[in-house]
Structure 1
Amino acid sequence: MQETKTQADRNSRELLAELIAGRPEAADRIFTRYAARLLPLIRKQISLKLQGRIDAEDITQSAMGSFFHRASNDQFVLERSGDLWRLLAAISLNKLRRRVAWHSAAKRSIKREEPTLPASNEAIPSHEDAIAALEIAEGIFRELSADEQTVLRLTLSGDTPEEIAREMSKSPRTVRRWLQAVRDAFEHQVDMRHLPKAEARATLSWEDYLLKQHVGSGGFGKVYRAIEKRRNRTVAIKALHKRHQKDPFAVEYFIQESTLLAKIHHPCVVGVHGLGQYPGGGYFLVLDWVEGEDLQKLIDRQPLNVAEALRVIRQVAVGIEAVHEANIVHGDLKPGNVLVSRCGAVHVTDFGFAALRSDPPSKRLPRGGTVAYLAPEQLQDSAIDNTLDIYGLGGLLYALLTGQPPRVGSPSEILNQLENKQPPLRPSVAKPELSISPELEALILRCLDPDPARRFSDVSAFLNAVKRINC
């Protein structure tokens, strides 16, 4: 049953308080509750002449985006329960007035004649290509910081950098910097789509597998639990997202993961069965199935105690030692990339950002990884070595004990820390209630030293130091 207007308004102050407190479900409830009421209000205010130029839904989306941004900065106080509706209506109507003024000014400043557009020789994109392009754009948008998303929305709504700066209480210079970051993100994706296509040997047939359950998604692909029909065994199938299946950059990463995993054979590393290709052309990987969960889900419930964290990190380190013996650097160690079986066995997975240690920078794919777990050297086109994964082991141990990554903040804030080679907070500062020995904290901070030369030189040295820690 839908809420009545009286019910909706009665707790609007509580909703705003929850939003300011950072509860994401409050944003969903506010949007669901008020967007449908704002649309007809905006439509009624748009003249017939401008109905073809101004989209009421765009105005509503922009207004809601502005409201959420300003609310997150605690700029609103409601004195009465119904004031949230009045506030949203005022923001929306103000957006509309500015859009109308913009169109009116544009009409006065251009010639009356319509320009003759040159005929295009390019083929009209197919429905599938259009969907893929939209998914790529949505993927880029999700990777932007909250501030960059807000700037993009307001820019597409017709706001100038100066207007955006006033609305966001930022300097125009800061807004222009965010706009440049948005442009760079889209231009990077365009550049990547012109990389030469990778050659792959897809030896597995899609018909040999039966998908049973979708179990997770990442930046490039989805993972399914499946049955290999011939052997009647459970396997994991990792498939590229539709939006990436024609992207040479993503395909190259995917094929590289298959190639590198085939070089590693160790019980603490998820094994690969091979690479396959759909009848339609997309690639998929077949991997060992691990009945369990990743470490991120585990620590989301509760960080580990010291003894359990050390047990897990020892197994991860042993797996990484085997990876290094194959002349490979993982490059993206984090809780989400480590699986724990129901019997407690640990398995390192997701080698999408791995690289051969012998590859010169010019031959490697562009660096990737999760920002909160990045090492400073991953921002540079310099040679990589095993100390990159030593940093990853330190970041993983940090997260197991504190429940959070070694660096927190917006992506731009974290990148600034990395560029300036700032050390992360001590675990005991990040989580004051954490009971941790000075020796263990020193070990973690040595792994996370911004200077690779100051870290443990290899996994063996790291494991020896771990053995000396008293729980």
Structure 2
Amino acid sequence: MVSNTHSFISTLSERHGFTEISEIGRGGMGVVYRAFDEKLQRYVAVKQLSTELLDEETGLARFRAEMVTLGRISHSAVVKIHFAEVTENGDAYFVMDYVQGENLSTLIRRHREWGNRFTVAETVELLRPIAAALDFLHMRMDPPIIHRDIKPANILVPDSTASESRSLLTDFGISLAAEDTRLTSLSMMIGTERYFAPELVPGGENGPKDLAHSQPTVGSDNYALSLIAFEMLTLQSLKDTMSPNQWAESDRPFPKIAALGLNQKDMGDVDRIEQVLRKSLHPAPAYRFMTATAFIQALAQTGNRASWQRPPRPPQNAIANQNTRIPDVPTPSQESSSGFEFNKPTMITLSALAVGLLVILGAIGTFAFLNPAWQEPESAIADAFPKIISDKPDSPGWAGLECSAGVAGENEQARIVCSDSDLSITFADFGSQEDRDNSLDGAERKHWEVGT
């Protein structure tokens, strides 16, 4: 619950000179207001936290410390938090960017009303920035930050001119550092049940058995993102495909995606799409994709294949009983002795086979031309790091990082750079260990064993 609304609005006006304050969202975690900042001449969003999030153990001191950490987040797909305060009445709140647009929950609802499922391409376009933001929070922040409430309502879809990112992650009112244990002291599970990972089920097989509530993790954040993708593609929540008891079990059943349906443009690739979703929503965290970006990248490689593009497979017995034979081409002497003649249908058949073979060879050659493998000298680097570097240039490798040949530096024989908007990894070949050691400053070097 939150305290008196009128009192809180008055505090915002007196403290910060905010005007035009109006409520734009309310939930179990608090209330969100839009306000106009007279000093900066722009609108801001204010999140007033529910008092249940500030129990005796956590306290206001914990809130202030967490807001300092959240204030350090700087990512193009994360709504920026400006500052946090506590009123004289003990109301905790933070001020962040106001984004003109709508949230993903509204967008999904509109698609559902029209029965218009998102395509794989549309889903990837909207969720790729969120995946990058999650990997940034999980892997680049120190300590790592767990959002804990990944859901469509907390993903903003800005107007075309409102942001450089296609979508934005917001509402960190209940996030926590990875080592935070306050969830065990609460009498409720924090977050949104529809987007809970199975390991958060109390006493479940994939979660601790000695806690009232299992701890949210990087894996549970990523699982929630996969649930959103599932919902966009099928217009059904995974939770709604099973009974409440099944949802509460750690080993949740997984439906057949073909029975739920996809956008017609993707139905021809339903098996691969289901394979990716099954992996990302596996009951055991260890069997899921390692990062949110890896899941999105795997999903991006599916779809865009309508069901009518998949030719029907002939019955197995029809394949076994086929006895198609191309007649032997006789030599001139054989023609005279056997009486075999090149009639017109035979010539057409052989010509068609020859053309078909040329088309196949041409397609293979074109594919090889458009998708070349790494060439020397970069190929030696790619061969040394096959699990990180893509198998061909200008393609995604580990965690979706796009790998391409870089400009070799002084004393380097070759260089490959794998990067996205947030992370860049450079691989360089110096030819010999001696040249490498002479070229690099050893002060900040780390030694990596093969397989690390």
**Could you tell me the TM-score, scaled by structure 1's length?**
0.50
Instruction: Note if contact 2:23-2:33 (Cα within 8 Å) is conserved in structure 1.
Output: yes
State the Cα distance separating 1:446 from its structure 2 match. 1.2
Instruction: Note if contact 2:227-2:237 (Cα within 8 Å) is conserved in structure 1.
Output: yes
- Please name the residue that 1:345 is paired with: 166
Instruction: Note if contact 2:120-2:300 (Cα within 8 Å) is conserved in structure 1.
Output: no
* 1-structure distance, mates of 2:57, 2:154: 21
CA deviations on 1:334-371 (whole Å, 9 max, x unpaired) are: 11110010117211112233222233578786642211
- Please name the residue that 1:369 is paired with: 191
- Please name the residue that 2:200 is paired with: 378
* 1-structure distance, mates of 2:63, 2:228: 24
Name the CA shift for 1:204/1:460 in 2 (closer, same or farther; >3 Å): farther
Name the CA shift for 1:220/1:461 in 2 (closer, same or farther; >3 Å): closer
Say which SS state the counterpart of residue 395 (structure 1) adopts. Answer: helix
- Residue of 396, 421, 425 corresponding to 2:255: 425
Matched residue type, 1:379: V
* 2-structure distance, mates of 1:445, 1:342: 33
State the Cα distance separating 1:396 from its structure 2 match. 1.1
Instruction: Note the residue ranges of structure 1 that are not aligned, 5 or more in a row.
Output: 1-128, 134-201
- Please name the residue that 1:320 is paired with: 134
State the Cα distance separating 1:288 from its structure 2 match. 0.9
Matched residue type, 2:169: V
Say which SS state the counterpart of residue 240 (structure 2) adopts. Answer: coil
Name the CA shift for 1:467/1:305 in 2 (closer, same or farther; >3 Å): closer
Name the CA shift for 1:449/1:321 in 2 (closer, same or farther; >3 Å): same
Name the CA shift for 1:374/1:415 in 2 (closer, same or farther; >3 Å): farther
* 2-structure distance, mates of 1:239, 1:207: 15
Name the CA shift for 1:362/1:281 in 2 (closer, same or farther; >3 Å): closer
State the Cα distance separating 1:132 from its structure 2 match. 7.2
Name the CA shift for 1:428/1:349 in 2 (closer, same or farther; >3 Å): farther
Name the CA shift for 1:251/1:206 in 2 (closer, same or farther; >3 Å): farther
- Please name the residue that 1:359 is paired with: 180
Instruction: Note if contact 2:128-2:293 (Cα within 8 Å) is conserved in structure 1.
Output: no
- Please name the residue that 1:263 is paired with: 72
Matched residue type, 1:422: R
- Please name the residue that 1:408 is paired with: 240
Name the CA shift for 1:440/1:285 in 2 (closer, same or farther; >3 Å): same
- Please name the residue that 1:274 is paired with: 83
Name the CA shift for 1:211/1:379 in 2 (closer, same or farther; >3 Å): farther
State the Cα distance separating 1:210 from its structure 2 match. 2.0
Name the CA shift for 1:254/1:290 in 2 (closer, same or farther; >3 Å): farther
Instruction: Note if contact 1:205-1:278 (Cα within 8 Å) is conserved in structure 2.
Output: no
Say which SS state the counterpart of residue 214 (structure 1) adopts. Answer: strand
Instruction: Note if contact 2:30-2:49 (Cα within 8 Å) is conserved in structure 1.
Output: yes
Instruction: Note the residue ranges of structure 2 that are not aligned, 5 or more in a row.
Output: 5-10, 112-116, 203-210, 305-452
Instruction: Note if contact 1:338-1:346 (Cα within 8 Å) is conserved in structure 2.
Output: yes
Q: What is the percentage of aligned positions where both structures have the same residue? A: 28
Instruction: Note if contact 2:198-2:249 (Cα within 8 Å) is conserved in structure 1.
Output: yes
Name the structure where strand makes up a greater proportion of residues: 2
Name the structure where helix makes up a greater proportion of residues: 1
State the Cα distance separating 1:320 from its structure 2 match. 0.8
Matched residue type, 1:355: L
* 2-structure distance, mates of 1:244, 1:354: 14
State the Cα distance separating 1:404 from its structure 2 match. 2.8
Matched residue type, 2:39: R
Aligned CA RMSD, in angstroms, stands at: 3.6
Matched residue type, 1:458: T
* 1-structure distance, mates of 2:55, 2:44: 26
State the Cα distance separating 1:420 from its structure 2 match. 4.3
Instruction: Note if contact 1:332-1:354 (Cα within 8 Å) is conserved in structure 2.
Output: yes
Instruction: Note if contact 2:12-2:18 (Cα within 8 Å) is conserved in structure 1.
Output: no
* 2-structure distance, mates of 1:204, 1:132: 16
* 2-structure distance, mates of 1:449, 1:211: 46
- Please name the residue that 1:290 is paired with: 99
* 2-structure distance, mates of 1:452, 1:219: 27
Instruction: Note if contact 2:234-2:262 (Cα within 8 Å) is conserved in structure 1.
Output: no
Say which SS state the counterpart of residue 236 (structure 1) adopts. Answer: strand
Name the CA shift for 1:420/1:220 in 2 (closer, same or farther; >3 Å): closer
* 1-structure distance, mates of 2:237, 2:59: 29
* 2-structure distance, mates of 1:319, 1:268: 6
State the Cα distance separating 1:294 from its structure 2 match. 0.6
Matched residue type, 2:155: V
**Could you tell me the TM-score, scaled by structure 2's length?**
0.52
State the Cα distance separating 1:218 from its structure 2 match. 1.4
* 2-structure distance, mates of 1:277, 1:443: 44
Instruction: Note if contact 2:47-2:173 (Cα within 8 Å) is conserved in structure 1.
Output: no
State the Cα distance separating 1:321 from its structure 2 match. 1.2
Instruction: Note if contact 1:372-1:414 (Cα within 8 Å) is conserved in structure 2.
Output: no
* 2-structure distance, mates of 1:390, 1:334: 11
Say which SS state the counterpart of residue 289 (structure 2) adopts. Answer: coil
- Please name the residue that 2:431 is paired with: none
Does residue 457 (structure 1) correspond to residue 287 (structure 2)? The answer is: no
Name the CA shift for 1:338/1:427 in 2 (closer, same or farther; >3 Å): farther
Name the CA shift for 1:281/1:245 in 2 (closer, same or farther; >3 Å): farther
Say which SS state the counterpart of residue 441 (structure 1) adopts. Answer: helix
Say which SS state the counterpart of residue 252 (structure 2) adopts. Answer: coil
User: Within 5 A, what are the aligned runs for 1:91-106?
Assistant: none
Matched residue type, 2:192: T
- Please name the residue that 2:301 is paired with: 468
- Please name the residue that 1:333 is paired with: 150
Name the CA shift for 1:372/1:362 in 2 (closer, same or farther; >3 Å): closer
